Structure 1
Amino acid sequence: MEIPKLSEGDILVKMKACGLCGTDVEKICGQYTASQPIIGHEPTGIIEESRAEGYKKGERVFAHHHVPCYECYYCKKGSPTMCPYYRKTNIEPGGFSEYFRVPAWNVERGGVLKLPDNVSFDEGSFIEPLATVVRGQRRVKIDEGDTVLVVGAGPMGLLHVMTAKRNKAKQVVISDVSDFRVEFASTIADYSLNSTKVKVQEEVRKLTDGRGADVAIIASGAPRAILDGLRSVRKGGRVLLFGVPFKGTVLDYDVSDLLNNEISVISSNAAVEEDTREALKMLENREVNVEKLVTHHFPLDQFEDAVRISKEGKTIKAVIYS
């Protein structure tokens, strides 16, 4: 493809690192339901050309792909990711390219962050996914001393574990169906469970004097994962729906349990600039160790190999570099 042409206010970035997200793989497979099919939304790089005030060639940056207007009804009511402009914005042609254009809309609304010297390109590629975790945990509200269950030990689930610990959770339990991921997660969470070998709700209750988790974070869209989270939370507890279910997902669940046990179910979708700024601050201050999650690096010309091993479940986080 040709290098994108710039208009006034745009920035051209030479990509240095871009994380491969599970949603990218789902888009490639035609399974993702939440946004347009442009892939590569965790990019960092070096400004190659700038037509925007305050940004110059050679600066190291992260670029956010979706940016709301901050002026509409949804934005003013505290639902900026529901802004009608949010999903319409993106980087061109996506983060998995040697060069990408950040449109003036994104730049003007704070969608480009300059990376501090102590934040590597790899670490910067975690700003967007970490920001979605920051927003999700802010919405579900983790209190100091909480027991938190995270269902799904992929990179997003593991970021939730790290962030819950940073938010002073007393203990964090994680579950998954993959032996590889369960073993990897055991180095990060307090307890790591294989949900094909144990009943998650029973194990969580053993760890909480029979109560259940204060907060269950469901970092998977699988129906079984959602049910594990709903059934493992205590009376009066909170459930965060974070992983994106496939369209048409239906649960076999007695909804009366929600009311009778006063369980709060909260969803969280994506992130905005207050979240990306907080995520970058966490990385700069070494509050989370995201590099630990990178198990594979691939040059851009081996992108198909990265997708293949991700689909095969042989990686935690793959980062594409150029």
Structure 2
Amino acid sequence: MKALVYTGPNRVEVQDIPVPEGRSGQAKVRMRYCGVCGTDIGIFAGKHPRAKAPLVLGHEFVGTIEEVRDGSGKFAPGDRVVAYPLISCGECQPCRTGHPHVCKTLKLIGIDRDGGMAGYAWIDENVLFKVPDTLSDEIAALVEPLAVIVRSLHQARFNLLDTTVVTGAGPIGVLTAIVLKHSGASRIVISDVDQARLDLCRSFGFETVNVAKDNLVEHIDATTDGEGVDIVFECSGVESAAAEMTRLARVGGTICMTGIHKAPRSVDLRDINFKEQILIGSRVYTKREFEMSVAYAETLAEDLAKVVTQTVPLSGAATVFDMIADPAVNAVKVLVDCEA
């Protein structure tokens, strides 16, 4: 079968590799689409501490079951499925106390073991979820990043009519804003340096600020009489956003770290004290939140479809990271067509 294989820093190859062997309790899934994630970009750059070459990339995938080996009867050949890709140890303190999604040795399909940018994969039956018949394969491939957002809103304790700022208009930032729109936010401001991405955001009706040209803090101050917003979702992972985020949130407001920063940042902790702000982290999602996202994707399908800006065939995916890095392409969310 064909697979997109990470072979070393800044190197991926489309290779013909054997179809893996399955074991009892697993399903053989013929892959349809797999999303390219920021984590995949980090792996490609050689910056992920756990990903080791050779590795089949991809943890945001949808496919069709072809075989179930000693299954429970819950799944059958022909079922379309998505997979909860987290692998927890089951023994550490978070796992023992009901928080396996933040396992001390958390692993993921597509990072710590071969993933879904391939013709086939054998996946444990107990992490599979059926895709509703009314949900297209392309939208189903967005269930995993959508679950990240569902978790983030839960962590932020979002309430109806909250005012919000989303820093960063990458896939996670845009999906955050879409979920906020459907959840009843009264104001959604999203910032970025990429005007093409901000133009996409404007098509959803979001208020945009190009921080390459305008000052986000000044904009929020001017439009809130200096009070700030209820919740800031930091989705960019960049140093400048970390420096500004406490100035964007109101007294008693919340800052939710949705994006993961790859290095220590300077944060004005005085604001956390003096404004009694809540600073909270968000990491991946629970299994229940992943399940919720399968159903929620149907509600958001029309908007989610606009986030997919490019689809590339698996046979030509060796250049997908170069394409994403090219500013002329204006890529937001890219899917790999595993059947092409």
Structure 1 residue 175, shift from structure 2 partner: 0.1
- The partner residue of 1:254 within 261, 268, 273 is 268
Aligned pairs (5 A) from 1:281-320: 281-286=295-300, 289-313=303-327, 314-320=330-336
- The partner residue of 1:45 within 63, 66, 70 is 63
Structure 1: state its 5+ residue gaps: none
Cα pair 1:220 1:243 within 8 Å, conserved = yes
Cα pair 2:31 2:61 within 8 Å, conserved = yes
Cα pair 1:149 1:229 within 8 Å, conserved = no
Give the Cα–Cα distance (whole angstroms) in 1 for the partners of residues 19 and 190 of structure 2: 43
Give the Cα–Cα distance (whole angstroms) in 2 for the partners of residues 169 and 320 of structure 1: 32
- The partner residue of 2:292 within 278, 284, 293 is 278
State the Cα deviation string for residues 214-251 of structure 1 (Å, max 9, x = none): 100011111112223222111111001111112x3332
Aligned pairs (5 A) from 1:131-170: 131-170=147-186
The equivalent residue for 1:74 is: 94
Is 1:28 the counterpart of 2:44 in the alignment?
Answer: yes
Is 1:55 the counterpart of 2:101 in the alignment?
Answer: no
Change (3 A) 1:4 1:64: same
Structure 1 residue 149, shift from structure 2 partner: 0.2
Structure 1 residue 15, shift from structure 2 partner: 0.6
| TM-score (norm. length: structure 1) | 0.91
Structure 1 residue 55, shift from structure 2 partner: 1.5
Change (3 A) 1:32 1:203: farther
Give the Cα–Cα distance (whole angstroms) in 2 for the partners of residues 205 and 86 of structure 1: 40
Cα pair 1:147 1:170 within 8 Å, conserved = yes
Cα pair 2:109 2:115 within 8 Å, conserved = no
Structure 2: state its 5+ residue gaps: 1-16
Aligned pairs (5 A) from 1:138-287: 138-246=154-262, 248-251=263-266, 253-286=267-300
Q: Alignment partner of 1:289: what SS?
A: helix
Higher strand share: 2
Identical aligned pairs, as a percentage?
Answer: 28
| Alignment root-mean-square deviation, CA | 2.0
Change (3 A) 1:213 1:77: farther
Equivalent pairs, count: 314
Cα pair 1:163 1:288 within 8 Å, conserved = no
Amino acid at match of 1:41: H
Cα pair 1:166 1:287 within 8 Å, conserved = no
Structure 1 residue 78, shift from structure 2 partner: 4.9
Change (3 A) 1:262 1:152: same
